[in-house]
Structure 1
Amino acid sequence: MLREKDISILRSLANEYASFAFDPKQEKTRRLWRKLNAFQMERPLLTIDQIPWNEMDVDGFLNCEITDPYWRNVESDLRCLIYKMRHMPADTALNPYVCLPKPIHNTGWGIEPVEKNHISLEAGSVAPSREYANQIETMDDLEKIKTPVLTLDVQKEKVIREEADVVFSGIIPYKMTGIVMHLGAWDWIAQWMGVTNAYIMLMDEPEIMHALMEKLTRGILSMIDQMNAQKLFDIHSNLCHCSHTHMDDFPKENAPETSENAWAFGLAQMFTCVSPKITDEFEVQYMSRIFPHFGRIYYGCCDRLDDRMDVIRKLPNVHKLSCSPFSDRARFAETMPDKCIMSAKPNPAFFATGTMDEDFVRRDIQKTISAAKEHNRNLEFLLKDISTVSHNPKCLWRWQEIVMEELMK
């Protein structure tokens, strides 16, 4: 239940968000993203996400006041977007409407991670280090895994819409948004088994790992069917795995909220430490059954891909490909598919201490631009996975300024 104070807070935030979203500069930014995503880049673009918000507040603005859990999350999202526009806008493209998540219940896979060790930088850290217990050691253990059931809470959505009509009336439209599907099965496996245990079983018990991936693949396909039947996919946020996805021709106007009109993202981060052959056998062969259900795929995260591009090329519908700090940028640009965007990930370690070598940052960005330019690649920079700025947010603001200066040249 929203209090009058809550409505006042949300309307104030919505007004400031709208002042940014309806600024003519934003339409120019959205146009630049549409051009880039159509392989007609005018210049490389930059976005910043997965920020250590517990370290970023400078004036109390990021402190949320609303108690209702749903609207507190909306408040937090608005505050974070406004903060970015105030201090490090980069090429952030705001939608001319507010995105409100649909209330969707997910029963989960029937198995939860069990932590053996947990090390945080500090209380509230967004990126603690974890060690997980192995819960999948035999074929029988696969029975623990159940196919998730997803259900839209229709009554709750009705209440949210009624409240949103009051909150945003006369300020800005809103849209109910569904799910951007996470297809990184090996992220889940790492949490259910522990990374080292998973590596060992890939070598010693490959038949169990194949059975595990088969079960997850069938489960994901079932989830896609469920979500298509209920129209639960996100086609409105213009975001997938922190990357802007604005396009002129996708999805079509008034398209249903189904997988064929949606983006999804896949990744196999722990496979950086296995051979390309294992990537093909245990990742590509399974994801190749899933990816065709989607209109566009963003593939990769922190995984190295330049050394196995011949295998990655087999994946269907990949529109953006992650060039992580672990990849050789020149080799990546040379070997990546032509109809694909190079999504370069600058290394957040460069300012993790709260200080940085500005000349080094410039040279690093220039190196990526040169590699992409040499091979005529459409290029975006996506700074993410920022664990810490050592409580010096201005260092990140300055990093953004430096990179934007280089991208504008």
Structure 2
Amino acid sequence: MNISKQDVGILRELGRKAAELSATDDNKQKIDKWTRLTDLDKSAGPLQLIHLWPLAWAEALPDEQHLVCQNETARNYERDLRQRIWSVENLHDDTVIEPVIRYPHCVEITAYPELPVMAHYASDDHAKTGAFKFESPIVEMADIEKIGDPVVKVDAEQREGYKAEAEEIFGGILDVIPTGIYFAAKVVDEWAGLRGMENVYTDMMDESEWTHEALQRIADNFQKRFQTLEEQGLWGPWEKSDPLGSTGLRFNPDIPNYQDIMKKGKADLMDTWAFTCAEGFNCVSPGMHEEFDLPYNVQLMKLFKWVNVGCCEVLHNKVEFVKNVPNVRRISVSEWCDFEKAGAEIGTELLYGYKPSGVPFLGDGLHEDQVRKELRRVLDAAKDCPLEMILNIGGTLGGGDGAAKLVEWTKIAKEEIEATKG
């Protein structure tokens, strides 16, 4: 093991803190509330959670200010533990911490070996800081024959090495589990990446049969990816405290906990949540959405226990379509939706997964009035629905003290939730 005794000591201390927090009554109560809410018990909510992507985390808890370990692997473990501990101790939202540590998966997936993604910076972007330009590899109709089977490669020796190292560091403190591989089923969005968004729209009208053939090939590829990962014990995550895509946590009476999965040695698809979306169909009519997306979601979502539908796309006028997706349990209601129409259509049949706007974070301080106005509107619109409010920040926190703005947001959300109960 290349990790120094000093780094090991730091990690073990953080591990003890995480285990201590996981055993508190408050943490157990949150698990109970998430379990009941995802079972569509409206009285368990509303629950609120902040889910940050790497860029936002880097702004909220900069490595240079918070990490102490020197070894890179140790720093990855330290970062994960500090983020989880900080969330529980500072945000006071409905974050749950489980007594686990995840070692790297050491897996490489190539979805379409014959269709490499062609992405590069614009020719005049000399600083290499702008958006990627994508060149779609599906040009001729015959090119869809290149949509074959995925390739999954596992470095088993390295994987076992990481596992042994993690067990040596955290043994007796935290349960050591693999980092499960998890991704959304985005048949339409992957097709858009292969074909080009403008072409996808015109092809649905001019070459509908060919489009369906291509979408079926992509759906078959997804199914093989899912089942290969399941068979090899790579599908995950195993822990329920990991956020489900754009929505909340995975606790549910019908989903086994990580201890049971550890005994089995792998997570079965039918024992896990799925996540599907079609952000490329945001401006497509409900009828075309149903024709060109639903058939493939029907095939894939049957593989799983429960399903979340949607991310950033607008779905308030497609709720009936969403209800036809097999095993659907959650629907994402993004900031661009008609909150009232969504609430009326969702009712008690699905979990209303509200995604608050990140715009109030732009600037040095949080725009409190904007946050309260939007929260009040959603809480009223979804008053008859099981409700979760997931601040899913995928980009920047907008300058200033990002951590302070996150703490303030959760405080405001708690106050508005309590006001509705009063």
TM-score by length of 1: 0.88
Cα 1:3–1:221 change in 2 (3 A) is same
Aligned residue number for residue 260 of structure 2: 254
Q: Given the alignment, which residue of 312, 316, 320 partners 1:310? A: 320
Q: Show the counterpart of 2:212.
A: 210
Structure 2 partner of 1:75:
78
Q: 1:387 aligns with which of 380, 383, 395?
A: 395
Which is further off, 133-142 or 297-306? 133-142
How many angstroms does 1:63 deviate by? Answer: 4.2
Q: Which residue of 1 aligns with 2:280?
A: 270
- Aligned equivalents of 2:260, 2:21: Cα separation in 1: 26
Equivalent position of 2:182 in the other structure: 180
Q: Out of 54, 58, 65, which is 1:54 matched to? A: 58
Amino acid at match of 1:271: F
Equivalent position SS for 1:319: strand
1:351 to 1:159, Cα distance in 2 relative to 1, 3 A: same
The amino acid of 1:314's aligned partner reads N
Aligned counterparts of 2:182 and 2:62: Cα–Cα separation in 1:
31
d(CA) in 2 for partners of 1:185, 1:62: 39
1:135 pairs with 134, 137, 155, which one?
Answer: 137
Q: Deviations over 1:281-327 (max 9, x none)?
A: 11111110110010111110001111122222210111111011121
**Distance (whole Å) between structure 1 residues aligned to residue 107 and residue 21 of structure 2:** 29
Matched, 1:108 2:111: yes
Preserved CA contact (<8 Å) 1:131 1:194: no
2:250 paired residue among 245, 248, 251:
245
Q: Superposed, which structure 2 residues align to 1:2-401 within 5 Å?
A: 2-4=2-4, 5-40=6-41, 41-51=43-53, 52-57=56-61, 60-63=64-67, 65-68=69-72, 72-110=75-113, 111-115=115-119, 117=121, 129-234=131-236, 236-238=238-240, 239=242, 240-241=244-245, 243-251=248-256, 254=260, 256=264, 257-336=267-346, 338-373=348-383, 376-392=384-400, 393=402, 394-401=404-411
Q: Which amino acid aligns with 2:356?
A: P
Tell me, yes or no, if the aligned pair for 1:195 and 1:270 is still in contact at 8 Å: yes
1:155 deviates by: 2.9
Q: Contact 1:48/1:382 (CA < 8 Å) preserved in 2?
A: yes
Kept in 1, the 8 Å contact 2:212–2:292? The answer is yes
| Change in CA separation of 1:9 and 1:204 when aligned onto 2, cut-off 3 Å | farther
Distance 1:236 1:378 in 2: 25
Q: 1:180 to 1:116 in 2, by over 3 A?
A: closer
Structure 2 CA distance, aligned partners of 1:351 and 1:324?
Answer: 16
Per-residue CA shift, 1:33-63, capped at 9, x if unaligned? 1121122232311111134223223684444
> Percent identical across equivalent pairs?
25
| Alpha-carbon displacement from aligned partner over 1:216-263 (angstroms, at most 9, x marks no partner) | 111112223323322332252213215201123322773551111111
The 2-side partners of 1:341 and 1:408 are apart by: 20
Aligned partner letter, 1:57: L
The amino acid that maps onto 1:391 is G
Aligned residue type for 2:58? N
For the aligned residue pairs, the C-alpha RMSD in angstroms reads: 2.7
- Give the structure-2-normalised TM-score: 0.86
Q: What is the CA–CA distance in structure 2 between the aligned matches of 1:43 and 1:168, rounded to whole Å?
A: 34
C-alpha contact (below 8 Å) 2:322/2:328 kept by paired residues: no
Partner AA of 2:248 in structure 1: S
- Secondary structure (helix, strand or coil) at the match of 1:342 reads strand
Unaligned 5+ segments in structure 1 are: none
Which amino acid is 2:119 matched to? E
Distance 2:28 2:355 in 1: 25
Distance of aligned partners of 1:6 and 1:185 in 2 relative to their CA distance in 1, 3 Å threshold: farther
Asked whether the 8 Å contact 1:177–1:237 carries over to 2, the reply is no
Equivalent pair of 2:121/2:128 in contact (CA under 8 Å) = no
Does the residue aligned with 1:92 lie in a helix, a strand or coil? coil
